[in-house]
Amino acid sequence: MDLSSRQKEIIEMVKEDQPITSEQIAEKLSLTRAALRTDLAILTMIGILDARPKVGYFYSGKSILSSIGSYMKNLNVEEVKSLPIIVFEETTVYDAIVTLFLEDVGTVFVQNQEKNLSGIISRKDFLKIAIGNHDIQKMPVAMIMTRMPNIAYVYADESLYDAAVKIINHEVDSLPVVEKKINDNDNEGLKIIGKISKTTITEVLVKIGKE
């Protein structure tokens, strides 16, 4: 992420004269406060500058890379999660494969009759079973899915950074986003409310680059 020449000038100005208000920065640069608003918002968002009400701006001492890391650690999964593709345990492998390609996803999540997360199936899982001597039009996905508790997942209030670490550590393409729920039998389950994938993380990085 490259900073503009004006943004770099603002940083040096804050380093020398901190705390400094937006009015003072604008005056030194012969600009209006409105013209500076975007630059100051970006520098504050990525953590290079700290803003304190009625005081002014301070230099945080952070590099751009550490600021991007801070941004991802402060960005909740809830803010960037996408829609999950879900099938039931009784769904046939054939129907699940059709769903996978129609929805153009790499992973399908499986839920039981109580609508709790119970499994996960990747493209690789489907490929393995499809090239074998199996009747996939009759076989339920419950027979090939990875089951709980061997499923990595995230909660909506976890950070995108934490989700990325789980994706790397568990060597998966995506994670289900879940929330705890109480079933009719008073047992606790996990309801699938979204997903976080490698594509999600890439989109956030692209967004940061654009900003």
32 forms beta bridges with none
* pLDDT the model gives residue 6: 87
- Are 171 and 129 members of one domain? yes
Please state the domain count of the chain.
2
pLDDT at position 67 is 63
User: How far apart, in whole angstroms, are the C-alpha atoms of residue 112 and residue 118?
Assistant: 6
Using one digit for the tens of pLDDT, what is the confidence trace for 109-147? 999 999 999 999 999 999 999 888 889 999 999 999 999
Q: Provide the H-helix boundaries in the chain.
A: 5-17, 22-29, 33-45, 64-74, 77-80, 93-103, 123-130, 160-170, 198-210
In this prediction, the residues of the chain whose per-residue pLDDT falls under 50 are none
Q: Could you tell me if 205 and 153 lie in one domain?
A: yes
- Say if residue 110 is in the same domain as residue 19: no
* Together in a domain, 131 and 182: yes
8 A C-beta contact, residue 95 and residue 206: no
Same domain, 84 and 53: no
Q: Are strands 174-182 and 154-155 parallel, antiparallel or unpaired?
A: parallel
Residue with tokens 């879900």: 86
Q: What is the pLDDT of residue 3?
A: 76
CATH of the domain at 53: 1.10.10.10
* 97 and 192 assigned to the same domain: yes
Q: What is the pLDDT of residue 65?
A: 61
Tell whether 108 and 191 lie within a shared domain: yes
Segment 36-41 long-range contacts (CB within 8 Å, at least 24 positions apart): 36/10, 39/4, 39/6, 39/7, 39/10, 40/10
Q: Which domain does 12 fall in, by range?
A: 5-70
Query: How far are the Cα atoms of 112, 114, 146, 180, 190 from residue 184, in angstroms, in the given order?
Result: 13, 8, 25, 13, 13
Q: What is the CATH number of the domain that holds 132?
A: 3.10.580.10
Contact by Cβ (8 Å): 11, 36: no
